[in-house]
Amino acid sequence: MVYNMHERFIDAEPEQVWELLATIGGDQDRLWPEGTGPFRLPEGLVPGAPVEHSELRYRVGAVEPGRRLWFDTGKQLSGGHGFTLHPQRGGTLVRHELKGRTGGMFRLMWPLVIRRQHDIVIERLLDNLEREAAQEPR
C-alpha cells in the first residue's frame, strides 16, 4: 500500500483555486511545472476522459467543482491520486493525495524513482498554484 500526501494553504477562496486547478492538462494550464514531462487531458476535465501523464495512461475519475479532482490510475495504482479543496479562514487548504496498491513495474519503481519525482512535481505545482492565486484579483 502506498500513501503520499502534500498540503498547501492558498490565500484564495476555493472557487478561485478551482478555476486555476481546472486548467491542469489543458491549453491554458498555468500550474503544471515545466520540464517535468507532459500532463495532458486531450478531452478536457470530465469524468472518464483520458489522461496522458508522461508514458502513463489513465482516466479522470471525479470532478467536483470547488471541492475535488480525482484521477483513476488503474492497474499501476489501485486507488488513484488527486486534489481536495478545504475552505479555511482566509483561504483554502489544498491537499494532494496518492493512495492505493501498486502493481507491475510501478511497485518496484515507486520507492526507487517515482516517489521522489512525484514529490518534486507536486511541490512545484503547489508553488505555481500559490503564485497564480496571488496574482488573481479576489
C-alpha cell at 135: 496574482
Average pLDDT, the chain: 94
The residues spanned by each domain of the chain are 2-135
Instruction: Answer whether 56's CB lies under 8 Å from 69's CB.
Output: no
- For residue 106, how many other CB atoms are within 10 A of its CB? 17
123 alpha-carbon distance from chain centroid: 10
Show Cβ contacts of residue 128 under 8 Å, excluding neighbours closer than 6 positions: 30, 31, 32, 33
Q: Whole-model pTM above 0.75? A: yes
- CATH for 2-135? 3.30.530.20
Express each pLDDT in 83-115 by its tens digit.
999 999 999 999 999 999 998 888 889 999 999
